[in-house]
Structure 1
Amino acid sequence: MSDLAIPAKEINAIVLTRWLLTPLGGWPLMKKSPSTGELFIAIILQFFCYSFILFALIPAIFHIVFREKNLSAKIALCGPVGFFMMNMLKYSAIIRHRKSIKKCIEMIETDWKKVHNDKEWNIMRKNQLIGRKLTIVCASFIYTGGMSYHTVMPFLMGSPASSEYCGDDRPLVFPGYDVLFDPLITPVYEIVYFSHCFAALIIYTITTVSCNIAASFVTHASGQIEIIVEKLNSLVGEGIGPDQKCLHKKMGDIVRHHGRVIRFTRNIETAVREICLVEVFASTIIICLLEYYCLTVEKCTKSGIKKYPVFLSEFCFQTWNESETIGIITYFLLLVSLSFNIFIFCYIGELLKEKCYEAGYSAYLIDWYRLPPNTAATLILIIANAQVPRKITAGGMLDLSLSSFLTVMKTSLVYLNLLRTAEAS
């Protein structure tokens, strides 16, 4: 496949990003030249997304702060409310950093158009599939762990217990609407219930697209570094011949390519640093709450907190009579889902750091002494840049790596102990 002409469907390595951002009103902002109609539709979609999320959040927050007096019930509500708030902040970060995301998308498309041989195409395709698989796994966890319990399980398991704020035969997602109107009469109940379902769908899409943006960009950068390593390994053979003009040209191409990858990783950091900050901070708290729910589900069922069967979203507090086992399974699935999500962010941060080191290490290991002095000296640029590898950070405060993942999990356990101590006191 020399002088390879990549089909359009292969150039579009960010097809999942486009699919996920389109219903959120984000994709037209990432296009090179969106039409006025596309921008108008994007604004309308963003307005509806924020409206559905706030329609679920505002009554629940009001209920937690001003109406609910039971500490355990407040803790139970903080999980779903916190998850919705976390993803609304990530959505805002995506819209705010749309220019950096757009630059990354344009650079990805340009790199695919520059592919000229089988080896480079295979490297890029392999890394593209890694990013796609990470996205699919994240989506599988988040949608199955949330939407199934949000829409199906309440009706399969029967009517929830009665509540002083909610009816005893109709499950709601969040409490607080009874201050303004009766949410249990028809058709008001159906409108509120399906608006919560739609808000949850938006939230899960935001979670998935956040993971997709980070994974797709980092795996593409990893593929470009692997291509640079391949070029470095094939460079020594060119240095043996008497004509060095072609060698100098290839060396210049390697240095320019490496510089382009560094600029690309800087754009990635700008695009996702706030998303990662929200993800790390909020996930630590919510994982702590999920661990608490798993440990206290039986207690909660018997203590009257079951009067809130309304938590049928991502962290649904479903505690029907004799349903402790179902509750534990539910919380455990959601715990695994959120833990895996933060693991993906930490994994791609570790991957990017290792690949940046790999470029400099490969430049050092080749038989540079067989190259002309001027050409060999150029390798110093690559080695020097690799000594300070690019990283994915959470707001510039925490480098994302596998050790960071362990830190998040240990911190959640610390918060869990504090939470149980505060409840006991």
Structure 2
Amino acid sequence: MGNSGVEYTTLPNANYQQDMQYVFRPCSWILGSIGIWPLAIRGIGRNISKIAIIICNFALSFAIVPCILHIVYDEKDLNIRLKLSGLLGFCLMSMMKYCVLALRRPKIMRCIEHVKSDWWQVKFSSDRELMLKYAGIGRKLSIISASSMYIAGFIYHTILPFCTVHEVNNQTIRPLVYPTYSKFYQTQMSPVYEIVYLAHCVCGYTMYSVTAGLCGLAAIFVTHACGQIDIIASRLEDLSQGKNFEKSSNVNQRIANIVKSHVQVLRFSVAVEEILQEVCLLEFVSSIFTMCLPEYYCIVDWQDSDTVGLTTYFLLFISFCFNMYILCYTGELLMEKSSQIGSMCFMIDWYQLPPKSIRSLILVIAMSSHPIKISAGNMFDLSLATFGNVLKTSLAYLSFLRTLVM
């Protein structure tokens, strides 16, 4: 993959290390902890990502399989089955998204190297300010997504299970986050209970990290592409003067650099879309149900005056909504920014350019006539309209669910 931006012979970005920490730190902490983000560790530590992936997948399977057996063979109450089905669906979808991200690690690493290369080549302070502006947006989205998911998940795993009394055959049992099959009686014995509970917490951390990491990854890559598009727009505005170009360049060289930068942004966006399309489809499908079921749980807990349950499921609902909104917002932002390049070609002082040079802008206009889009499995374009459709669909399913159960 090529490097976006104009190639210069001057010194690279003096603030490179500081900028990289600012851009990547939130997402690298989240995805690095579950083995998706590449870690610069030598020796035995080079395999730490593979070890983390194995441990996290084992923790997910450790919670999912007994939960399936409990729903099929043990649980008879319809309301509890619905609650457990929502939990099970979220676990399964998280495991599928995790596997897709693990398979896409090589492409994720290439996109990360592309972003690093772009920051390394920054020359003008105005370019760095534009990139920092969009990097700040991506960083804030990553932090808010992670905070909302981890807060709701912490309450769900450490507070909610201990707020109600759990009884089986008139005997009080110690609660677990995810139910286990009744044949596994030893789960109530120490230290087995503590080990199972810890494994459930690892499972929860993995699920929330996958969701928050996906949103953070999309936010970082998409906002970076938007920053590069804004730099191209600033080059177009300065095409006739050449203040933000090499002093020795002529108009034709400037246009060639603009076209080259535009092509590289398009290639980067295509690579990002390849990384995100499967996980975005899984997120799209799971969001309809994971947003519908917490709404139903909130209604049930409101009727039962269960304040802790109501608060927990409301926070989970807000987290799911916000994560889906981040994906749709970044898709909308990229679509809007990429379509502005063609319009910018009409708005510049093109009449000050040589006639032959003006014709060269036709290529830029032609490329921008098809805006860059992030799709969910090549089925749905991620946009704010898509987010509205997800909300409406989840409410429709909620209405159906209330009619069926209540």
| TM-score, normalisation: structure 2 | 0.91
Deviates more, 1:390-399 or 1:173-182: 173-182
Residue of structure 1 equivalent to 2:384:
402
Amino acid at match of 1:221: A
Measure, in 2, the Cα distance between the counterparts of 1:248 and 1:412.
Answer: 53
Give the corresponding residue for 1:190.
Answer: 194
Counterpart residue number, 2:344:
362
Match of residue 5 from structure 2: none
Deviation of 1:169 after TM superposition, in Å, equals 4.7
1:163 and 1:81 mapped to 2: Cα distance?
Answer: 21
Higher mean alpha-carbon deviation, 367-376 vs 407-416, is at 367-376
Rounded to whole Å, the distance in 2 between the matches of 1:11 and 1:192 is: 38
Give the 3-state SS of the residue equivalent to 1:22 in structure 2.
Answer: helix
Deviation at 1:332, TM superposition (A): 1.3
The one-letter amino acid paired with 2:300 is: T
Q: The residue matched to 2:226 in structure 1 has which SS?
A: helix
Match of 1:85 among 53, 67, 92: 92
The answer as to whether partners of 1:87 and 1:207 remain within 8 angstroms in 2 is yes
Residues 417/126 of structure 1: CA separation in 2 closer, same or farther (3 Å cut): same
Contact 2:233/2:344 (<8 A) preserved:
yes
> What stretches of structure 1 move > 6 A for 4+ residues in a row?
none
Over the matched positions of the two proteins, sequence identity in percent amounts to 40
Q: Secondary structure at the match of 2:174?
A: coil
Match of 1:68 among 65, 69, 75: 75
The structural deviation recorded for 1:202 is: 1.7
Partner of 1:179: 183
Residues 280 and 394 in structure 1, CA contact (< 8 A), matched pair in contact too: yes
Structure 1 SS opposite 2:307: helix
Q: Is the 8 A contact 1:167 1:184 kept in 2?
A: no
Distance 2:320 2:131 in 1: 29
The 8 Å contact of residues 284 and 408 in structure 1, kept in 2 or not, is answered as: yes
**Which blocks of at least 5 consecutive residues in structure 1 are unaligned?**
302-322
Cα distance in structure 2, aligned partners of 1:42 and 1:7: 25
Contact 1:11 1:113 in 2 (8 A): no
Task: Give the AA of the match of 1:26.
Answer: I
1:17 to 27, 46, 49: 27
Q: How far apart in 2 are the matches of 1:329 and 1:19?
A: 28
Contact 1:25–1:41 (CA under 8 A) maintained in structure 2? yes
After superposition, where does 1:371-386 map in structure 2 within 5 Å?
371-386=353-368
TM-score if structure 1 supplies the norm length?
0.87
After superposition, where does 1:271-282 map in structure 2 within 5 Å?
271-282=275-286
Which sections of structure 2, spanning at least 5 residues, go unmatched?
A: 1-9
Farther-moved stretch of structure 1 (70-79 vs 137-146):
70-79
**Secondary structure of 2:167's aligned partner:** coil
User: How many residues in Structure 1 have an aligned counterpart in Structure 2?
Assistant: 392
Sort the Cα spacing of 1:7 and 1:269 in 2 relative to 1 into closer, same or farther, 3 A: closer
Q: Give the distance between the partners of 2:166 and 2:155, measured in 1 at CA.
A: 20
Query: Residue 213 of structure 1 corresponds to which residue in structure 2?
Result: 217
Q: Cα RMSD (Å) of the superposition?
A: 2.2
Q: Distance in 2 between matches of 1:376 and 1:238?
A: 15
In structure 1, what is the equivalent of residue 6 of structure 2? none
